[in-house]
Structure 1
Amino acid sequence: MIQQIKHKQVGKFEDTKFEKIHNEIFEDSYEASKVVAAEIADLIRQKQDKGEACVLGLATGSSPIKVYEELVRLHKNGELSFHNVITFNLDEYYPMDAENRQSYYYFMHQHLFDHIDINPENIHIPSGQVSQEELNQYCIDYDMKIKQLGGLDFQLLGIGRTGHIGFNEPGSHINSGTRIITLDHITRRDAASDFNGIENVPKKAITMGVSTILKSKRIIMLAWGHKKASIIKETVEGQITATIPASFLQNHPNTTMIMDQEAASELSRIKTPWIVSQCVWTDNLKLKAVTWLSEELKKPVLKLTDKDYNEHGMSGLLSIEGSSYNLNIKIFNKLQHTITGWPGGKPNADDTNRPERKSPEKKRIIIFSPHPDDDVISMGGTFSRLIEQGHDVHVAYQTSGNIAVTDEEALKFAEVANLLSPSTEETNFKKIISFLNSKTTAYGDSLETRKVKGLIRRMESYGATRYLGLDDSKVHFLDLPFYETGEVKKNPVGPEDIQLISDLITTIQPHQIYAAGDLADPHGTHKLCLDAIFESLASIKHLDFMDDCWVWLYRGAWHEWDIADIEMAVPLSPDEMNKKINAILFHQSQKDRVMFQGEDSREFWVRAQERNRNTALLYDNLGLAEYEAIEAFKRYHF
């Protein structure tokens, strides 16, 4: 089959000699998903023209959601019919009722099947309700159905951070067929928030085998965000190994990996293109290369020699710069100029080489926080510094954060409130208590319960902002509607969300905006909140005050900007670091049992402290001043 994906790779370095799987890198997951959906749609139409069935292998998880949304859009616009489509899903938890909200049966109908004209008899999803006695034969029959139809014409895959495809966990054999499998602890931990705790996550699953997947005529794997970057590098550039089941795709003749820039960031041609081919040495690439070399050799920038550059594929760079001495000084000064103790700009100072402007001396500032604790976790030290330096600081919490409050935490508060003030028709705490005591899944909260959980987050936020010295009148709770589903799955960002943000910006008319720049999950709250800000900025950029508005992006609790991307580095003293930690600890509902822990089991305050200290250590190792901690920012040009 002819590959339909067009070459839209980001960057200028086309040499892929280290890569063993064809891949395409896109600007973002939205563009990429539309291109993948277009290939699937073309295949369906081609099969229809021939009067043939189109047999699709489908995946679940966050990665393919936008693909399914685009397919649904094409169908609703009358551009695509699914009457000839037969589908086989990769996997399902075991045991699992089909109607359970955590089942993949529910997921597929929610995102695709309920919105298209596919024949229900053509939908095949492994059943989590088959008895153990029948399970072996059921799995054999599942593979036989695929074989009888001539195999899968197309298989859509995601990739887990352990390198699993489907639920083929590390150790899966290349010849494995559809079967029952025991889930890796990491996989179960990642799913814990969906099941209201890891103890409720099934320990087993039914999965299409590696062999079944590899027999597909065409395979596309999707990967979004920096969290997938390291496993993508191992899959694409490493050896074939059962430890990383996705690496078996190196044996497939018609596989394409589709990724965004962040997922591709560890590939050699992106991270270290100078060792792959000739480079166009932009200023940013020079900075990236020199800091990489300094880290690689564990030598300060000013101590790098001509020999160091020549031995690491950078002789071309030296020929441009003249000598390592000249290059080292240039890069050292560039790094030095990112460091400032005045994130709002230093009054009455030469700001030629400073990250921020000196004027106006006192700036109006909005800190946008996706959840009610991202502000202090990610930039609590800078937040405090801006207040202390006399700026007019506002913080805007974009979502209520209610789904991140555990049922146990909400029950505790509801019981206390009921004892202090017995329920009335308006408060009805007994109703909330009864609901929580009978609840069996993490989501689907009643409106009253969601309100209590949201108020818990709100009061914790006030505690933190008051501690930092911010007046309550400067604290804004936007409660963006897209978030208020009571489930992990959010609604698309809509006009009302964008208007709420636009109204706040136009009211305050800020000189600075800080926003969370996490792009890992295209359907995650951080990404959706950032998209809403970007759309708001686009809609009001024509207003006069916007000419003086600068936007700075911070990272979340999991990841920091690469050194070459940092444009403002705010150092923190030990006392300031302690103050930041204390502000984080006001968010008690997120301290000991976090609903969305991710792959990092550390508490948020520990992650924040270690990340900020590691950034300071990086600057120190590059030969710059030694600080206790550093918070880092990248400017967004809209």
Structure 2
Amino acid sequence: MTTTNIKYQPAGQFEDTRFEKIHNIVFSNSNIGSVCVAKEIANLIIEKQNNNQLCILGLATGSSPIKIYEELVRMHKEEGLSFENVVTFNLDEYYPMDKKSVHSYYYFMHQHLFNHIDINPNNINIPCGTIPLDELHQYCIDYDLKIKEYGGLDFQLLGIGRTGHIGFNEPGSHYNSGTRSITLDHVTREDAAPSFLGIDNVPKKAITMGIGTVKKAKRILLLAWGHNKASIVKETIEGEITSEVPATYLQEHPNTTFILNDEASQELTRVKTPWLVGPCIWTEELASKAIVWLCQLTKKSILKLTDKDYNDHGMSSLLVQEGSAYDINIQMFNKFQHTITGWPGGKPNADDSSRPERANPVKKRVIIFSPHPDDDVISMGGTFDRLVEQGHEVHVAYQTSGNIAVSDHEALKYAEVIKDINSNNSNIDSIIEKINSKKGDLEDDLEVRKLKGLIRKRESLAATRFIGIPDKNVHFLNLPFYETGTVKKKPLSDIDINIVSNLIHTIKPHQIYAAGDLADPHGTHKVCLDAIFEALENLKNNDYMDDCWVWLYRGAWHEWDIHQIDMAVPMSPDQVLRKRKAIFYHQSQKDGVMFQGNDAREFWVRAEERNNETATKYNNLGLADYAALEAFKRYYF
């Protein structure tokens, strides 16, 4: 297998193993990986320019390549990279789809790339979503012929869907298929639903380059970012070639590389269980991970593991390093035991040497950052309740208004109540008219957005009052990056970061809780976490920050693995019910959530089942049996 242009040295690079059938490189984060891919594309363009040749690029859409396009634009503006010799062919387009629609891939490509570079507009080729149905078959044939006339694709950029689709080649696609019309899989439409404000607005068909068209490219790079891609990445790289996972056809391509971040690589054998691949350097974290895996595999608790269990499952070198199963077991049992505490703010007048939090100061100032106006109670409602109960000064900071997640029918209900109370309110008449006249997934008017934001604000205050903190400790930051009225947000700015920084500087907290769950379907959690990290970086030289500890919780989509947990807070059955009630105050997010991702369960059900599963996993390790556990990982800045 040749792999041209792979000259960069990514963080955490691994050697390919016998399990893997496609070359891949793992980066510590998607930004670093995106910059490296952009450099490869730029080098190819320049090489072609030097040889007086056209550079034929196959391009992809979606969230995965956005940072690549941003870097290419930067290189054009700051380094003089020219695109005058570039011809592009896009992978796909929804059908039917007007190119003026904000959901069209024509709009996407011009917004993120073409409007900002010197490419000849005649060299841009994107499938047309308005071709008459009776002309569509020939149009697709001509699209492939045009690629062939240019000598084929020099480079093809791909993403991957949860079904294993590349482009819109859904499960069942033939390995030799060409550009064609295709019916979209329900999972694909579910994944697109957040951008369209509901699955009912997502087109059911698309035009896509075929597997055969893609495989003819001289060089292919596939991008995969995030936990939700980890399972399909493993299946694609390590599984058998099958039409049920169309991306596995890339195993037959001689020059393909998968570009992954840490989260997307987590299910690969060499990442998840490296002791099955070859010699390991046994750090405490890796040993913890391996022992949890061994317990789950053997269905034994930690203290019941034997030398034979370790030897039979690729972990004999750990025995050599630590001495015996008995020694390892005791060490790891104590490690996991010490993560459990009913005192998330620290236990007063107690030895804290083996506790996750400090005993002093006895009463701590705490900020719970919540990306949306319900993440606090969904993700850590029990811990929130415990902190208040134990007398700490708890503040909650809702980073965004969450207005986009309020449905039109929910907003209409509130508007009509206001109308019933005050029938002469002309503003509310206007809002009702705007909601009733809205069609499909159009952007909300500012007045409607304000109403939806107020709905979420009042729900949040109802929940925080139930838990027992005063209204003055509830902060609605309304970060500007979020306030676009659409799923697509503005980039994080200094204004957003300063708002977060000012709150931290004012309160001078001993604890910060922040959402470390980056799997939410429209990316708000990541932007909100980045704002906090930037603020911490800006403030870290202040003396009060020496006493500030940061704890990351995870939300409705993903939980920390057991070996990653630094603090586990148990909940009694009564506290589980209190947490449920707090979540129920967010009534607009019940019974038909707009952005629930690929999980059909309501948020309170997900939270309870996730907390119960964490408690069960702890109990299966031989630790105490709790009704539920909320998990946190400490972040060091």
TM over 0.5: yes
Counterpart in the other structure of 2:633: 634
**Equivalent residue, structure 2, for 1:25:** 26
SS in 2 for 1:464: helix
Q: 1:519 to 1:126 in 2, by over 3 A?
A: same
Give the equivalent residue in structure 2 for 1:609: 608
SS at match of 1:372: coil
- Mapped contact 2:519–2:558 kept (Cα < 8 A): no
Corresponding residue for 1:599?
598
Give ranges in structure 1 of 5+ residues lacking alignment.
Answer: none
| 1:226 equivalent in structure 2 | 227
- 1:356 — aligned with what? 357
Equivalent residue for 1:487? 486
Structure 1, 487-496 or 71-80: larger mean CA deviation: 71-80
Alignment of 1:538-553 (within 5 A): 538-553=537-552
Aligned position for 2:203 = 202
1:523 to partner: Cα distance: 7.0
Code of the residue aligned with 1:432 in structure 2: it is I
3-state SS of paired residue (2:22) = coil
Q: Does 1:506 align with 2:466?
A: no
Distance in structure 2 (CA, Å) of the matches to 1:422 and 1:218? 65
Q: Measure, in 1, the Cα distance between the counterparts of 2:435 and 2:111.
A: 25
CA, structure 1 residues 73+7, in 2 after alignment: closer, same or farther (shift >3 Å)? closer
Pairwise CA distance, 1:8: 3.4
Structure 1 CA distance for aligned equivalents of residues 437 and 524 of structure 2: 28
Letter in 1 for 2:435: L
Find the counterpart in structure 1 of residue 439 from structure 2.
Answer: 440
Q: Match for residue 584 of structure 2?
A: 585
Contact preservation (8 Å) 2:521, 2:595: no
> What whole-Å deviation, never above 9, does each CA across 1:458-497 have from its counterpart, x for those lacking one?
1110111111111111000000011111111111111110
Task: Tell me what 1:497 maps to.
Answer: 496
Shift of the 253–312 alpha-carbon distance from structure 1 to 2, 3 Å rule, reads same
CA contact (8 A) 1:62 1:521 kept: no
1:224–1:520 contact (8 Å) kept in structure 2: no
Q: Which structure 2 residues correspond to residues 314-463 of structure 1 after superposition, within 5 A? A: 314-422=315-423, 424=425, 428-463=427-462
- Residue 57 of structure 1 corresponds to 58
Query: 2:164–2:245: 8 Å Cα contact kept in structure 1?
Result: yes
**Deviation, structure 1 residue 416:** 2.0
Question: How far apart, in 2, do the equivalents of 1:552 and 1:510 lie?
Answer: 12
Which string of whole-angstrom CA distances, capped at 9 and with x for unpartnered residues, describes residues 78-99 of structure 1?
4211111111111111111111
RMSD between aligned alpha carbons? 1.4
Conserved? CA contact 2:194–2:521, under 8 Å: no
Query: Do 2:3 and 2:257's aligned partners in 1 also have CA atoms closer than 8 Å?
Result: no
Q: Is the 8 A contact 1:15 1:276 kept in 2?
A: no
Matched residue SS, 1:341: coil
Native 8 Å contact 2:16 2:24 kept in 1 = no
Offset of residue 303 of structure 1: 0.6
3-state SS, counterpart of residue 264 of structure 2: coil
| TM-aligned CA distance change 1:524 to 1:307, over 3 Å | same
Contact 2:508 2:545 in 1 (8 A): yes
Work out the CA distance in 2 between the residues paired with 1:246 and 1:467: 49
Report the CA distance between 1:106 and its aligned residue: 1.4
Matches within 5 A, 1:9-48: 9-11=10-12, 14=15, 16-48=17-49
- Deviation per CA, 1:563-590: give whole Å up to 9, x if none: 1110000011111011111111111111
Alpha-carbon distance in structure 1 between the residues aligned to 2:11 and 2:616: 31
The alignment's TM-score, normalised by the length of structure 1, stands at: 0.98
The one-letter code matched in structure 1 to 2:94 is Y
Gapped regions of structure 2 (runs ≥ 5): none
Cα shift at 1:197 = 2.6
Q: Give yes or no for contact 2:178–2:212 (8 Å, CA) kept in 1.
A: yes
Describe the shift of the 1:195–1:207 C-alpha distance in structure 2 as closer, same or farther (beyond 3 A): same
Q: In structure 1, what is the equivalent of residue 142 of structure 2?
A: 141
Q: Helix, strand or coil: the match of 2:372? A: coil
For residues 520 and 593 of structure 1, the distance between their equivalents in structure 2, rounded to whole angstroms, comes to: 19
Aligned partners of 2:333, 2:575: CA distance in 1, in Å?
A: 26
2:518 is aligned to: 519
Amino acid at match of 1:242: S
- The answer to whether structure 1 residue 620 and structure 2 residue 611 are counterparts is no
The answer to whether the 8 Å contact 1:371/1:399 transfers is: yes
Counterpart-to-counterpart distance in 1, 2:24 and 2:357:
39
Displacement, 1:4? 2.0
Residues 402 and 450 in structure 1, CA contact (< 8 A), matched pair in contact too: yes
Aligned to 2:314: 313
- 2:37 maps to amino acid: V
Structure 1 partner of 2:189: 188
Q: Answer yes or no: is the 8 Å Cα contact 1:21–1:256 preserved in 2.
A: yes
Residue range with higher mean Cα deviation, 186-195 or 603-612 = 186-195
Residues 209 and 13 (structure 1), Cα distance of their counterparts in 2 relative to 1, 3 Å cut: closer
Q: How far does residue 516 in structure 1 lie from its aligned partner after superposition?
A: 0.4
Q: Distance in 1 between matches of 2:97 and 2:14?
A: 47
Distance of 1:592 and 1:472 partners within structure 2:
27
Task: State the alpha-carbon separation in 1 of the partners of residues 577 and 95 from structure 2.
Answer: 46
Aligned to 2:181, what secondary structure does the other structure show?
strand
**Aligned partner letter, 1:411:** L
Q: Give the deviation of 1:424 after TM superposition.
A: 4.8
Amino acid in structure 2 at the alignment position of 1:164: H
Q: Secondary structure at the match of 1:180?
A: strand
Give the AA of the match of 1:340: T
SS in 1 for 2:265: coil
Structure 2: distance between partners of 1:218 and 1:347 = 61
Q: Which moved more, 1:6-15 or 1:95-104?
A: 6-15
CA contact under 8 A between 2:56 and 2:153: conserved in structure 1? Answer: yes
Q: Secondary structure at the match of 1:67?
A: helix
2:280 paired with 1:279 = yes
- CA deviation profile, 1:551-573 (whole Å, cap 9, x unmatched): 00001101100111100000111
Secondary structure (helix, strand or coil) at the match of 2:263 reads coil
Match of 2:104 in 1: 103
Within 1, Cα distance between the matches of 2:393 and 2:604? 26
Q: Give, in whole Å, the separation in 2 of the partners of 1:117 and 1:522.
A: 33
Counterparts of 1:580 and 1:272 in 2: how far apart (Å)?
Answer: 35
Is 1:565 paired with 2:564? yes
CA–CA separation in structure 2 for the residues paired with 1:7 and 1:88 = 26
Name the amino acid aligned to 2:439.
T
With normalisation by structure 2, the TM-score equals 0.98
- Paired amino acid for 2:47: Q
2:407 maps to amino acid:
T
The letter for the 2-side match of 1:380 is G
Q: Specify the alignment match of 2:216 in structure 1.
A: 215
Q: CA deviation at 1:102?
A: 1.4
Question: Alignment partner of 1:440: what SS?
Answer: coil
Match of 1:165 in 2: 166
Deviations, residues 304-347 of structure 1 (Å, cap 9, x unaligned):
11111101001111011111111111111100000000000000
| Residue pair 2:155, 2:220 contacting (<8 A) in 1 also | yes
**How far does the alpha carbon of each residue in 1:201-248 deviate from its partner, in whole angstroms, 9 at most, with x for none?**
211111110110111111111111111111111111111111111111
1:511 and 1:342 map into 2 onto residues whose CA distance is 14
Q: 1:273 to 1:598 in 2, by over 3 A?
A: same
Is the 8 Å Cα contact of residues 520 and 557 (structure 2) preserved in structure 1?
A: no
Q: CA deviation at 1:286?
A: 0.7
Q: Taking structure 1 as reference, are residues 130 and 226 closer, same or farther at Cα in structure 2, changes over 3 Å only?
A: same
Q: What is the alpha-carbon distance in structure 1 between the residues aligned to residue 240 and residue 3 of structure 2?
A: 27
Give how far 1:421 is off: 2.2
Greater shift in the superposed pair: 532-541 or 62-71: 62-71
Tell me if structure 2 keeps the 8 A contact 1:62–1:523: no
Q: Distance in 2 between matches of 1:413 and 1:56?
A: 50
> Residues 11 and 109 of structure 1: is their aligned pair in 2 closer, same or farther, counting only changes over 3 Å?
closer
Contact 2:194 2:522 in 1 (8 A): no
Shift of 1:455: 0.7
